[in-house]
Amino acid sequence: MNVPRHPAAFESPLVVVSNRGPVSFSVDEGGELSAVRGSGGLVTALAGALFESDATWLAAAGTDGDRAVAASGRPIDLAPAGRASFIDVPEERYLGYYNGVSNRILWLLHHYLFDLSYLPTWNAETRAIWDDYREVNRQFAQALDRESDRQPVYLIQDYHLSLVPRFLRELQPDALITHFTHTPFAGPAYLKVLPAPLLEELLRGMLGADVLGFQAEAWAENFLLSVRDSLSDARVDLRRRRVHVDGRTVLVRTYPVSLDPGPLRLTSRDPEVKRIRRELTRWRGEAKLLLRVDRLELSKNIPRGYMAFDSFLADHPEWHGRVRFLSLLPRSRAEIPEYETYAARSLEAADAINAKYGPDWIPIEIRTEENYHQAVAAYGMYDALIVNPIFDGMNLVAMEGPLVNKRHGAVILSHNAGAYARLGRHAIGVNPFDVAETAAAIHQALEMPDDERIRRARGLTRAVLTSSPVRWLTAQLRDLDRARAPEEPGGSEPGEHVEEPFGTVDGEVGHGHEIGGSF
């Protein structure tokens, strides 16, 4: 095997690509661009490490300001480091790619959310929106190819861009490419809900990368089993987490995303957070606080959380008036019918419980506005945090809460959240479908003895801090170089790379990436 003449990953520039960027731009009355930090878990988890690395980040334009940057043909510099660039996707094509395939097919598929008794049904419209998905992925690859003279490492993010690795590989056979999936990845039987040509295109698209990353071992294994089941020309090595295909070796690895605590803790000291905390303290009164912070979307299991709370109140009338349930639920993808229906049913479930126990006591308060300062203020105050997704790639809420909580709050955590592998021994684990078990967990969390509460809270914080965005990035760069090295008999077992030291010297990773600062 001939190893391409390409700089080592640690010595190469970084180019990150995702559907949503770390910033978006608006144009003021004077024609000047101003930037606003992007939202979403991906940006929250990764922007700090990647911009400390002086990365260029490519995303789809979402505002007139973004489109102005795209039209200029040049990235725009960001402080303290890094650059942002955009591609301008035609609106109709973007709707098919984003609302059609990404959110109504792939998101539902990987989270096991289809009601298979009647959905999905594939038809000519399916093929049309898949064409949109394919062409937007191709457009991203062509934009990335314009960086080829710098010989960068390409870090491609998430299920929206599953086909980009293969398209980019066709343009640059020697490119260093990773693809990281932030969601779960469906198992081989469920994945076969997709029409066979689409499933094959999806898997082959991802296999254009040198390294494929997932949040948890279960999702990595699902991918490997799906490739073995659906691609006859691919040789899958389950033990060593490798796929041999098209004369190349693709490493399939687990890189659990974590958080940089610095910005979160700095935000917790912001005057606006302190003001909101005082308002919430008055609202709560002497009651204990049960908290959830979630997007109002299908995978978060919101109605079952309310059913469990109702069951808890029915079983423990002594808690009536002594606990309040604050639900911070920003609306998500409201233009998609399934999401709007789910939001309505979630709110109706809460209204029914409030009607049952009101009007003198309103046990559930729901706030649907997008307000990060409010979420951070509430994190500091909860006695119990409920995180019960049906399935989740990681779930950053389960990690954010313990980092700023001041009451040794307990965390009720779904076994199906990726974060459970890291936090489970310190959390109260629940089957997200078991309402009775979740009700018992609420009771356990609220009546937990102080010594156990302190021990668990400290364990949660330590578990979150064992990793960082730097480790996430460093492990992938190291594995990129391993993927290009000649294979040796008896090579490393899957997962060994995660436990290795960072390899940083004086705040640097190798020679190309300065990732020091708050890390």
Tens-digit pLDDT profile for residues 242-273: 999 999 999 999 999 888 898 899 999 999 99
Q: Which of 180, 184, 190 is nearest to 218 (CA)?
A: 184
Is-above-0.75 flag for pTM?
yes
> For residue 500, what pLDDT band results from cuts at 50, 70 and 90?
very low
3-state secondary structure of 223: helix
Tens-digit pLDDT profile for residues 415-472: 999 999 999 999 999 999 999 999 999 999 999 999 999 999 999 999 999 888 888 8
The rounded distance, in Å, linking the Cα atoms of 166 and 137 is: 10
DSSP one-letter code for 152? P
Q: Is the pLDDT of residue 345 over 90?
A: yes
Angle at 17 between CA 15 and CA 21, to 5 degrees: 115
> For residue 280, what pLDDT band results from cuts at 50, 70 and 90?
very high
Measured over the CA atoms of residue 270, residue 271, residue 272 and residue 276, the dihedral's sign is positive
Which residues are CB-neighbours of 146 under 8 A, at least 6 positions away?
none
Report the CATH fold assignment for 89-258+469-483: Rossmann fold (3.40.50)
Burial class (CB in 10 A: 0-12, 13-18, 19+), 267: middle
Q: Is the pLDDT of residue 516 over 80?
A: no
Provide the pLDDT for residue 241. 97
Provide the pLDDT for residue 506. 29
DSSP one-letter code for 513? E
> For residue 78, what pLDDT band results from cuts at 50, 70 and 90?
confident
The rounded distance, in Å, linking the Cα atoms of 2 and 485 is: 10
Q: Is the pLDDT of residue 504 over 80?
A: no
Tens-digit pLDDT profile for residues 207-242: 999 999 999 999 999 999 999 999 999 999 999 999
The rounded distance, in Å, linking the Cα atoms of 387 and 302 is: 9
The rounded distance, in Å, linking the Cα atoms of 322 and 361 is: 10
Provide the pLDDT for residue 54. 73
Tens-digit pLDDT profile for residues 406-431: 999 999 999 999 999 999 999 999 99
Question: If you count them, how many residues does the chain have?
Answer: 519
The rounded distance, in Å, linking the Cα atoms of 182 and 177 is: 16
Q: Which of 184, 122, 413, 376 is nearest to 265 (CA)?
A: 376
Q: Which of 395, 384, 379, 387 is nearest to 453 (CA)?
A: 384
The rounded distance, in Å, linking the Cα atoms of 107 and 391 is: 11
Q: Is the pLDDT of residue 69 over 70?
A: yes
Residue bearing tokens 């043909």: 73
Q: Give the residue with greater pLDDT, 117 vs 47.
A: 117
The rounded distance, in Å, linking the Cα atoms of 138 and 170 is: 11
Sequence letter at residue 374: Q
CATH homologous superfamily of domain 261-465?
Glycogen Phosphorylase B; (3.40.50.2000)
3-state secondary structure of 391: coil
Tens-digit pLDDT profile for residues 364-380: 999 999 999 999 999 99
CB 307 within 8 A of CB 342: no
CB 177 within 8 A of CB 16: no
The rounded distance, in Å, linking the Cα atoms of 39 and 389 is: 20
Count CB-CB contacts under 10 A for residue 317: 8
Q: What SS3 string covers 64-119? A: HHHHHHHHHCCCEECCCCCEEEEECCCHHHHHHHHHHHHHHHHHHHHCCCCCCCCC
Provide the pLDDT for residue 509. 35
CA distances to 53, 275, 285, 401, 518 from 271, rounded to whole Å, are 30, 6, 21, 19, 22
Provide the pLDDT for residue 105. 96
The rounded distance, in Å, linking the Cα atoms of 204 and 167 is: 10
- Domain regions of the chain by residue span: 89-258+469-483, 261-465
Angle at 116 between CA 110 and CA 120, to 5 degrees: 75
The rounded distance, in Å, linking the Cα atoms of 181 and 109 is: 13
